[in-house]
Amino acid sequence: MKARVYVMLKLGVLDPQGEAVRHALGALGFDGVQGVRQGKVIELDLAATDKAAAEAEVKVMCEKLLANTVIESYQIELS
């Protein structure tokens, strides 16, 4: 089973990388971009075959290592 974890800064947390991308897009002539949030995607290959167990395991991974839950939120996608 594969898991994809999307990690983003929580709303209200300053995103300097996103702001740098927004500024660069404006410099390239893309003036309609009003905001950019940058995050990361983590793909995991899991041995688990039970979807509920896999999701629970990935959630623990996120809480312990993959996301800083103080300033980041995450979403899990299983396939």
Map out the domains of the chain as residue ranges.
2-78
Can you name the CATH fold of 2-78? Answer: Mth169; Chain: A , (3.30.1280)
Contacts 24+ apart (CB under 8 A), 30-38: 37/8, 37/9, 38/9
Q: What's the predicted TM-score (pTM) here?
A: 0.88
**pLDDT value of residue 58:** 98
> CB-based burial of residue 32 (10 Å sphere; 0-12 exposed, 13-18 middle, 19+ buried)?
exposed
pLDDT band at 19; cut points 50, 70, 90: very high
**pLDDT value of residue 18:** 97
Report the chain's mean pLDDT, rounded to a whole number. 97
Average pLDDT over residues 16-38: 97
C-alpha 43/C-alpha 79 separation (Å) is 11
**pLDDT value of residue 57:** 97
pLDDT digits (tens, 9 = 90+) for 37-69: 999 999 999 999 999 999 999 999 999 999 999
Q: Under a CB-based contact definition with an 8 Å cutoff, are residues 54 and 7 in contact?
A: no
